[in-house]
Amino acid sequence: MATENAPIDAIKAQQKTNTDQSTALASLQSLITTLQGASTALGSPDLFGGRQVSSATPNSAWTPQAATNTPMGSYTLQVTKLATAASITGAPTRSNTMNATDSVAGLTVATLPIATPVTAGTFTVNGQKITVATTDTLDQVFAAITAATTAAGSPVTAQYDHTTDQVTLTGTGEIILGAANDTSNFLSAFKLANNGTTDPVTSAGTLGVLNPFATIANARLQVPITAVDASGNGTFNINGVTISYNVNNDALGAVITRINQSGAGVTAAYDPSGDRFTLTNNATGDMGINATEAAGGLLGALGLTTGTGATLGRGTNAQFTVNGGPTRSSTTNALSAAALGVPGLGVTVNSLDTQTLAVSGNTGAMSTAVSNFITAYNDVQSFIDTNTAITNTSGTVTTSVLSSNREVQDWGTTLRSKVFSAVPGLTGSIKQLSDLGIDFTSGTSQLSIVDDTKLTAALTNAPSDVAAYFQTPYTGIFARFADYTSTLLTQDAQQQTTLTKTNSDLDTQIANIQRQLDQQRATLTASFVAMESAQSQIQTQQQALNSAFGTGSSSSSSSSTSATPKLNSA
């Protein structure tokens, strides 16, 4: 049976060969796919037209950009004015005073309606530490100041004036405020600072501020709002956009958010330190802001109308020159190609300065793409050379896994032809690989960059010629390899499919032969069993005969003599 198995062994050997070839073709397929991707990168329209731009000014904060095919060269840009946004600065002191009377006995530190919340800790007056807790009343803090400074012999009294909305510290000489180890911000929260004289120290500004979280009616606005209906509804208009509000239901902060999220194109903000509002255009440029409403409305209470003392600061356009040319203008500091007059060039400026912008080809990206193509090409050729090689060493011939595959060998030859031949019809300086400093390594099918200087010069000074070499339709390197690698991938896949099917057919042959061998084994086994059974029966019969007739010759003879029958006389 071992001899009869020889055909199966031969078929399995063929299957292994087929599997090895299929595996090799799959590896080659992956390398060809990489080559196809590398050649596709060389065909990208942005590759050789790509530009990089930089400023000659060290650490420049300008942000230049250059689009594909921006004219290369140097552009000197002088910015003489930056674009700004128009804004309305509202009148100050929009809120009620911190307290309605001079008495501060009922004001708790934690809930003071001032711009900066007071933190617990200590602060210093004339060298004396005063401790403040957020649960203290302001009257208790004032009393602590007096007690501490009087005990030290330099008494200071603190008093609040509701008419000026300020706190005043009065002493017998110069008052020295603060120390390096203070832990409370009480002094700065009340806008108290040393004045260098013996005069009393008074808050640098009013103290009371609005509460943006309260409804408009309860936000501590100093000016009452009367231009509303019986339910408290009112409207105002900014840049032609109507904003509605309800003094009883809407928080002041919610109305500010509503303005900012509307289509008015402005940003409204409240500055508690100055107790005033501002409206600022979201777009820069020489344009105004139009804010209108009926008399007695919310905008008037916020100090954002002309009659309340608001002031309009018009926006400005950026002004600049390019290469000493006429003055140009832009409503934004993001100077576009149209504003600069240079196709594809843009720059965002943020300072008055003169800078030179250099636009050049993106040689880094180009060089990388060319190197990737060379590497991918060499990988394919190296694989084909290695796996189709046939060597003869001292009369011993050694084959490789694809040695018998003439088609794969032809792929390598065709690839060399496509990469080596010149591109016809070109008029530029680059017509073949050698013009880029690229050539075959002597005696091999491998490409290499033999002249880096030549390649860099071509990519830097003649990117359009390089682009024509790689990207000319139908005949350029990209077109050649895009088409041919697609063909190779199809043929490679077909060969793998054929080998897989062949192995499947061989599996069927093995199964058929194995079935015949199994039948033959069964027949031989049955015959052998029958033979052994027959032999066993014969042996049994022989033993029976021997037992019946004797097993020795002498005893047979004796028995024969003594057993001779006698005739009876009848």
What pLDDT sits at residue 379? 96
Contacts of 340 (CB under 8 A, 6+ apart): 75, 77, 322, 328, 346, 347
Query: In terms of C-beta density within 10 A (0-12 exposed, 13-18 middle, 19 or more buried), how is residue 238 classed?
Result: buried
What pLDDT sits at residue 242? 97
Stretches in the chain below the pLDDT threshold 70 = 551-570
pTM (2 d.p.): 0.67
Residue bearing tokens 């501490």: 148
Neighbours of 196 (CB within 10 A): 8
Contacts of 317 (CB under 8 A, 6+ apart): 81, 83, 285, 286, 329, 330, 331
**What tokens appear for 507 in the block?**
């599996």
Encode 415-445: b = buried (16+ Cβ within 10 Å), e = exposed. beeebeeebeebeebbbbbebbbbebeeeeb
What pLDDT sits at residue 377? 96
Residue 431, SS3 per DSSP: coil
For 176-241, the DSSP string reads: -B--TT----HHHHTT----SSSSPEE-SS--B---TTSBGGGS-BSSPP-SS-TT-EEEEEETTE
What pLDDT sits at residue 551? 62
Judged by phi (left if over 0) then psi (alpha if -120 to 50, else beta), residue 196 lies in left
Give the H/E segment covering residue 542. helix 477-549
Contacts of 353 (CB under 8 A, 6+ apart): 57, 62, 78, 79
Rounded-to-integer distance, Cα 53 and Cα 346, Å:
10
What pLDDT sits at residue 560? 44
**What tokens appear for 394 in the block?**
């001292």
For residues 563 and 557, the answer to whether their CB atoms sit within 8 Å is no
Domain assignments of the chain as residue spans, ordered by start: 6-48+363-486, 51-83+317-361, 116-202
Rounded-to-integer distance, Cα 332 and Cα 286, Å:
10
Residue bearing tokens 């290469």: 323
